[in-house]
Chain A
């Protein structure tokens, strides 16, 4: 029975996340935008609450909620952890994207662990705050070009290499590192490893100064003969050239809708604020009157809101498919592509509509316009999402459609 409303039973969770976003995140949003690299200590007590939500099986806000539940429910329609996590993330990012990315124990590494770890690993890494380290100085989107190496030496892997753009890399307790077991084999040899920051050989080299999401630290990490137990490899240690990349890439099917959700939440914040400002200026949107018969600002707003709503629904759809164990690589990429480009367009247009009021630091609109840009870049750029969608629709391999 087709219905695209937020599930009734998720309303308490959404309400909680909204309260937190408005009472914890928003009041400190500007403070940590200005104080780049300062640790938002206000988040510590709040993080405990989110842990509680996730442990209760409610899922909620943060990357650790994306594990695909193996317990069936008898074949009916499931509104599960993926949908709840996306819904919680939307609310939290309505508050502040960078602060959500700084939430203890809710890193993208946690999403990777949740997505691909076996039960033993899941138990052992419970409570860790894990960042994700894929990108290297010599590559970004081309993640098959990983040059960080992992060599088996007895019961341990020895890791060597340099990782950049590691979100929460300084604050996290551990980092999920992508490394190759054998560079000559290509994609199939790329595996991910949980590397605890306490181990010798892993160091944070420096933090980036950025356009936006300044409350979130972005680290450069060096691995110099860093040894981890072989049980820290996530997924299968076999180099299976048939299955290839699939293991590590699985994470993306779960995390891309999450990043799309961040974009949706941020876009909604900008739209709400703009509607308020426009209303004070005497302009209210009428949903029945033709757009072209309204004030140009109202017509523009309608167009932005339509893009927002499309991104919103694509995101819920991708998460719903994950909950119902339908393959969703294409839908995940579609949601990320639409939400990523829409949030940039929406936030920038909102500044334009609000004029100097929107451009000034007196308003959060200018900050949101800076924060939004990363959402069309990380977890796969706009162009990467388009490639994924196009290859699938056209039936093309990565060597045919480059």
Chain B
């Protein structure tokens, strides 16, 4: 959206349209195009160049396996979560309503998130980050805490780290040296992991977007849907079907010829200014392929992305629970608080019970992932629960507020819309 508006300013300042008497119709067209999708070139990307030479890629070590069942986060994780929770309460929640209405991430929010270093603990120390070992659990806890503020804005904040985490984990030495130091710096580039496509029964392992081999690299064609902050993004990690090899991920800079973006407003996640990414004969070099096109790398990206959505569901689910408890205690009907009725009270119990289930399954998968254990099953189960029960929690939240829940006076209707994204979305975030 940011760049879309910048491009509009350029066109509208041109004397050409004034001369031609096109000012009025053009202004009208702008209003409509912002609402319904205006196609513009991708954002101008900074010149990504390697700042130093790496002999080999920097990798984060797997987390240790203590062999003990434990629900207690480490002291470091507790400190991080506390900080992020405050950030979400002070910066995300108050901005959420307007961001949703305006389809944009507020100015300054992302730089404040970057100052906090959200994302930097997934980048190895050698490349300027704080990371020493895999931190899937920390990522989950951070996503959950952010989504307690607002899911759409959480997605906007987390979008760049989806790309940087993937590069840290699977990028080769050149890819890491070229891109990662920028993500560890103060001016974190907007970036997006683009996997979803607009298609019923979409299977991320069978993208319609194609990658053809060319003498110098690959040529990409296709359209990606619901890409967070697509028009501002300088870098995309895009899934495409690599002829003969199946799904793979490609690094695409936004200023590459053939890249264009279009706003793609949806039911929810509106604070993340979602857009469509069009790839029309986009030529990238041989070095753009992530993880050598390894199928297992692709599967891990899909799984960790789904896990990120589970964490967001847990955070937004908790927001619903924390909101309805005081409401049903204060709302009086038939002479007493409505929480004195089992029909109301049991819904609150069920929100808490199902929410705890979502949370525990998400954490279980996260711990397995960072320890290097198989976790496909655990992600699938967490996602199923987060999809079904997360949506139920969103619906129960509105129901408990009755007609008031249906209005924008309360955030529950937004949470209802946001929670529907879980189970629909692929990509965008990464745990």
Q: In the complex where A3-B65, A4-B367 touch, is A293 in contact with B201 (Cβ < 8 A)?
A: yes
The answer to whether B67 touches A9, judged by C-beta atoms less than 8 angstroms apart, is yes
Partner of A314, one of B204, B339, B357, B384: B357
A386 in the interface (beta carbon within 8 A): yes
B346 touches A390 (CB 8 A): yes
Known: A302-B384, A306-B388. A1 touches B69 (CB 8 A): no
CB-defined contacts of A5 to chain B, threshold 8 Å: 65, 67, 69, 364, 367-368
In the complex, which residues of chain B have a beta carbon less than 8 angstroms from the beta carbon of A79?
Answer: 68-69
Query: Given A2-B363, A394-B339, is A289 in contact with B353 using a C-beta cutoff of 8 Å?
Result: no
Decide yes or no whether A325 CB sits under 8 A from chain B. no
Does B242 reach chain A (CB closer than 8 Å)? no
Does A6 belong to the interface (CB within 8 Å)?
yes
B232 at the interface (CB under 8 A from A): no
**A314–B299 contact, CB under 8 A?**
no
A-B contact pairs, 18 of them (CB 8 A): A3-B66, A3-B367, A4-B363, A5-B67, A5-B368, A6-B69, A288-B303, A290-B203, A302-B380, A309-B378, A334-B352, A334-B353, A334-B356, A338-B357, A383-B346, A393-B325, A394-B328, A394-B345
B6 at the interface (CB under 8 A from A): no
Chain A 145-181, CB-CB to B under 8 Å as 1, else 0, gives: 0000000000000000000000000000000000000
A390 touches B388 (CB 8 A): no
Q: Are A394 and B381 in contact (CB under 8 A)?
A: no
Query: In the assembled complex, which residues on chain A have CB atoms less than 8 Å from the CB atom of B345?
Result: 386-387, 390-391, 394, 396, 401
The smallest beta-carbon distance between A260 and chain B, in angstroms, is 12
Indicate which residue in A287, A389, A402 contacts B349 across the interface (CB closer than 8 Å): A389
Give the distance in Å from the alpha carbon of A61 to the alpha carbon of B44 in the complex: 65
Instruction: Tell me the chain A residues, 359-402 only, with Cβ under 8 Å from chain B.
Output: 383, 385-387, 389-391, 393-396, 400-402
Interface string of B49-89 (1 = CB under 8 A from A): 00000000000000111111111111001000000000000
**Does the CB pair B356–A1 fall under 8 Å?**
no
Alpha-carbon separation in the docked complex, A4 to B350 (Å): 22
**B419: interface (CB < 8 Å):** no
The closest CB in chain A to the CB of B350 belongs to A386
- Whether A4 contacts B360 in the complex (CB less than 8 A), given A79-B68, A288-B303, comes out as yes
Q: Report the separation of the CA atoms of residues A391 and B352 in the bound assembly, to the nearest whole angstrom.
A: 12
Q: How far is the CA of A269 from the CA of B319 in the complex (A)?
A: 36
Q: Are B70 and A3 in contact, with the CB atoms below 8 A?
A: yes
- Return the CB mask of A1-22 against B: 1 if under 8 Å, else 0: 1111111110000000000000
Closest 6 A/B residue pairs (Cβ): A310-B357, A8-B67, A4-B364, A390-B345, A313-B360, A287-B380
B residues within 8 Å of A by Cβ?
63-74, 77, 137, 201-205, 299, 302-303, 321, 325, 328-329, 336, 339-340, 342, 345-346, 348-350, 352-354, 356-358, 360-361, 363-364, 366-368, 371, 376-382, 384-385, 388
Q: Using Cβ atoms and an 8 Å threshold, which residues of chain B touch A289?
A: 203, 205
Interface residues of A in 287-340 (CB under 8 A from B): 287-293, 302-303, 305-307, 309-311, 313-314, 316-317, 320-321, 331, 334, 337-338
Chain B residues, CB < 8 A from A396: 339-340, 345
Measured CB to CB, the nearest residue on chain B to A305 is B381
B342: chain A residues within 8 A (beta carbon): 383, 386-387, 390, 401-402
Contacting A292 at CB < 8 Å: which of B201, B328, B346, B363?
B201
Q: Is A77 part of the contact surface with B, judged by Cβ < 8 Å?
A: yes
Are A2 and B367 closer than 8 Å at their CB atoms? yes
Q: Nearest Cβ in chain B — how far from A311, in angstroms?
A: 8
User: Hey, which chain B residues are within 8 Å of A386, CB to CB?
Assistant: 342, 345-346, 349-350
Structural contact, A1 and B201, CB atoms closer than 8 A: no
B74 contacts which chain A residues (CB < 8 A)?
1
In the complex the two chains form, is A303's CB within 8 Å of B384's CB?
Answer: yes
A394 CA to B348 CA in the complex, in Å? 8
| A335 nearest CB across to chain B (Å) | 9
Q: Please tell me if A83 contacts chain B, counting CB pairs below 8 Å.
A: yes
Q: How far is the CA of A391 from the CA of B364 in the complex (A)?
A: 29
Dominant SS among interface residues on chain B: helix
Residues of A within 8 A of B376 (CB): 287-288
Tally chain A residues at the interface, Cβ within 8 Å: 51
Docked complex Cα distance between A113 and B213 (Å): 73
Closest approach, in angstroms, between the C-beta of B150 and any C-beta of chain A? 23
User: Are A293 and B203 in touch, CB under 8 angstroms?
Assistant: yes
Q: How far is A402 from B358 in the complex, measured between Cα atoms in Å?
A: 28
Q: Are A310 and B354 in contact (CB under 8 A)?
A: yes
Asked if B71 and A317 sit within 8 Å, CB to CB, the answer is: yes
Q: Are A401 and B340 in contact (CB under 8 A)?
A: yes
Question: 19 extra interchain contacts, Cβ-Cβ under 8 A, other than A383-B342, A389-B353?
Answer: A2-B367, A3-B367, A7-B68, A288-B376, A290-B204, A306-B380, A311-B357, A313-B361, A314-B353, A314-B356, A338-B353, A386-B345, A386-B346, A390-B339, A390-B342, A390-B345, A393-B325, A394-B325, A394-B329
- Complex Cα distance A389/B325, Å? 12
CB nearest neighbor in A for B306: A288
Q: Which residue of A lies closest to B385 (CB)?
A: A306
Inter-chain contacts of A401 with B (CB < 8 A)? 339-340, 342, 345
Contact of A288 among B299, B321, B348, B382 (CB under 8 A): B299
B69 and A390 contact, CB distance less than 8 A: no
Which residue of the partner chain, among B302, B303, B340, B353, contacts A337 with CB atoms under 8 Å? Answer: B353
In the bound complex, do residue A310 and residue B68 qualify as a contact, i.e. CB atoms below 8 Å apart?
A: no
CB-CB nearest in chain A for B140: A2
Q: How far is the CA of A383 from the CA of B346 in the complex (A)?
A: 8
CA distance A5 to B378 in the complex (A): 11
Q: Tell me whether A83 and B349 are in contact (CB under 8 A).
A: no
Kindly list chain B residues whose C-beta atoms are within 8 Å of the C-beta of A303.
Answer: 384, 388
B contact residues around A288 at 8 Å (CB): 205, 299, 302-303, 376, 380
Decide if A390 touches B367 in the complex (CB within 8 Å).
no
User: Measured between alpha carbons, how far is A389 from B349 in the docked complex, in Å?
Assistant: 6
A334-B360 Cα distance, complex, nearest whole Å: 13
A338 to B345, CA, bound (A): 16
- Closest Cβ of chain A to B255, distance in Å, is 33
> Is the pair B349, A390 in contact by a Cβ cutoff of 8 Å?
yes
* Bound-complex Cα distance A351 to B128 (A): 56
Of A77, A83, A307, A387, the residue contacting B385 (CB under 8 A) is A307
Query: Nearest A residue to B363 by beta-carbon distance?
Result: A2
Q: Distance in Å from the Cβ of B144 to the closest Cβ of chain A?
A: 12
Q: Which residues of B contact A4 (CB under 8 A)?
A: 69, 71, 360, 363-364, 367
Residues of A contacting B325 in the complex (Cβ-Cβ under 8 angstroms):
393-394
Note all chain B residues with C-beta closer than 8 A to A311.
357
- Asked if residues B68 and A77 are in contact (CB atoms below 8 Å), the reply is yes
A-side contacts of B69, CB under 8 Å: 3-7, 79, 83, 316, 320
Contact B348 A291 (CB under 8 A): no
CB-CB under 8 A from A395, the residues of chain B are: 329
Tell me, in angstroms, the Cα distance from A334 to B350 when the chains sit together.
9
User: Closest residue to A8 on the B side, CB-wise?
Assistant: B67
Chain A minimum-CB-distance residue to B347: A390
Determine the residue in chain A with the shortest Cβ distance to B328.
Answer: A394
Expressed in whole angstroms, the Cα–Cα distance for A25 and B385 within the complex equals 32
Write the nearest CB–CB distance from B343 to chain A, whole angstroms: 11
Residues in A whose Cβ lies below 8 Å from that of B204: 290
- Chain A residues within 8 Å of B64, by CB: 1
Of chain A, the residue at the smallest CB distance from B138 is A2
Q: How far is the CA of A337 from the CA of B351 in the complex (A)?
A: 12
**B363 → chain A, closest Cβ, in Å?**
5
Distance A338 CA – B63 CA, assembled complex (angstroms): 31
